[in-house]
Structure 1
């Protein structure tokens, strides 16, 4: 079977409204200063009053908060999302089922290739870099197929995913890389490894600083017509989108993963979905979900 076709000619004719997202390859995350209030002064003749224990803030179920925002937005389609506030470390996730990756798997393909190159103590070849640029910045399918074969297909992707901390991602069979199955939680874990931000299973990212800089740089330069999706939630974006019309149902898979800055904070966001009647309808749902994900984590730290 030939690789799935996440882009078709008809999709190019869709008039997509792009956000004002400014693409940048450099993460921007600042830590909050911590201050402590001085103790009340006491003196002779003053009445000693026992100090009150600081009251604990009520625990907010962020998963439930995100679910409440996303359930109505999904409509007849199916949608899942996961988000991390890189400053506070707060996370929220909605949905557990697996989805077709479509072209977001291209981030995983390149991350796996970079891991393999690190293991071999080598840099990417000129040809591999040419393929990587076309695959990420322009979502070129032929380049993705070439690098999919280079990493060893599904077996190579699965091995790379294990090192990256992915537990619910399985490479597509028979060369069908776009039908790789994944979850929103796994895609958030992948983003943590790619951006070297936040905690992830297994500790620090297995990707070197140079590998992370290279991959995120490409994600920060995707072509203008593909700057939709999680970019709707903020600015200073680096992302990868995926879109795939399923021939059996004539419905669309629409996915978006990446990093955005909103209200001075940096977020990693993954939104996966399927069952959309049109590509444009799916994009609208994904963008609504990305905005809801950032709102759900607002004020968490």
Structure 2
């Protein structure tokens, strides 16, 4: 046997052994095989990005379900994405989109919200009122809502059929873009401060999720969704903006295939604690994990439990 052939075989054997001995990335137990470990990046602070990636993987390492994560911190130029293009039934987080579309329409008409709009926008956000959401959904119409999504630049959000606003399909990446409408200094939304204010006043029993682990120096502006359906179990979502005197960052966690609502909440809060800890070293947490006896297993009722003909049959989107 020639020396060249021997060296080639030796190199191949070494590569195989190295691959077998390499650590396997941690992913959520039982998660879709298309789900990949969180990837955080920061040109300003690559060490922070590496730590955050490890911490998010650790938070998911023993969890069931299918999870998507997106994080954006303007101060450190940190971004994180885990399966951020996978689509989920939006449930009640779509109410942020409805609110922003109503605010944008008022801007375009060079006016503030009417008394009727205010009477619906306020409870839709602060109490997750479904009747108010339906009123605004019908009033805005699909054309106006679609035009708004185009203006934001969402890529994979699809409005729910007919009056089924809770079946709007969305991604963590698109939810990050929608939150950016409220935080970016150059935003086209003139009344973004009002939108953030409403999100800061969500009632206490709906303030679980991404605020878990946040430090006392920050304010949380959040909206959640919690919906069980006959396929993919519980959808449990939490999106939020965190503002303080020296920073602003956004966190989005979407999930389905959760066995219970409480299980999904706990998964989200484990991720949130890792994010807040990484972005705020040395600052004590003001909000811990939500006790299970404070998590209701009642649906947010934003969509029917069973399939909607022509929408859920067959399963239309398994794209990661």
- Tell me the TM-score normalized by structure 1: 0.70
Structure 1 residue 262 displacement after superposition? 8.5
The equivalent of 2:148 in structure 1 is 160
The answer to whether the 8 A contact 1:112-1:156 is kept is yes
Deviation string for 1:52-79 (max 9, x for gaps)? xxxx988459389537623761722000
- CA distance in structure 2 between the partners assigned to 1:283 and 1:166 by the alignment: 26
1:172 match: secondary structure:
coil
The equivalent of 1:254 in structure 2 is 236
2:122 match: secondary structure:
helix
The equivalent of 1:25 in structure 2 is none
- CA distance in structure 2 between the partners assigned to 1:185 and 1:64 by the alignment: 21
Deviation string for 1:267-295 (max 9, x for gaps)? 21111111111111111111112222344
- CA distance in structure 2 between the partners assigned to 1:169 and 1:67 by the alignment: 29
The equivalent of 2:296 in structure 1 is none
Residue of 267, 274, 281 corresponding to 2:249: 267
- CA distance in structure 2 between the partners assigned to 1:57 and 1:166 by the alignment: 27
After the TM superposition, which residues 1-301 of structure 1 pair with which residues of structure 2 at under 5 Å, given as runs? 59=46, 62=49, 65-66=52-53, 69-70=56-57, 73=60, 75-95=63-83, 96-153=85-142, 155-196=143-184, 204-208=186-190, 211-234=191-214, 235-248=218-231, 251-260=233-242, 265-295=247-277
Structure 1 residue 247 displacement after superposition? 3.2
2:182 match: secondary structure:
helix
Whose RCO is larger (CA < 8 A, sep 6+)? 1
Runs of 4+ in 1 over 4 A off after TM superposition: 56-61, 261-265, 295-299
CA-atom RMSD, angstroms?
2.6
The equivalent of 1:38 in structure 2 is none
Cα 1:93–1:229 shift into 2, 3 Å? same
The answer to whether the 8 A contact 2:125-2:223 is kept is yes
The answer to whether the 8 A contact 2:52-2:274 is kept is no
The answer to whether the 8 A contact 1:91-1:297 is kept is no
1:280 match: secondary structure:
helix
Structure 1 residue 132 displacement after superposition? 0.4
The gaps in structure 2 that reach 5 residues or longer are 1-42, 282-320
- CA distance in structure 1 between the partners assigned to 2:113 and 2:244 by the alignment: 34
The answer to whether the 8 A contact 2:68-2:254 is kept is yes
1:231 match: secondary structure:
coil
Number of equivalenced pairs: 234
1:135 match: secondary structure:
helix
The answer to whether the 8 A contact 1:229-1:290 is kept is yes
Structure 1 residue 195 displacement after superposition? 2.0
Deviation string for 1:239-290 (max 9, x for gaps)? 11111111345x2101111122589643211111111111111111111122
The equivalent of 1:20 in structure 2 is none
The gaps in structure 1 that reach 5 residues or longer are 1-55, 198-203
1:167 match: secondary structure:
coil
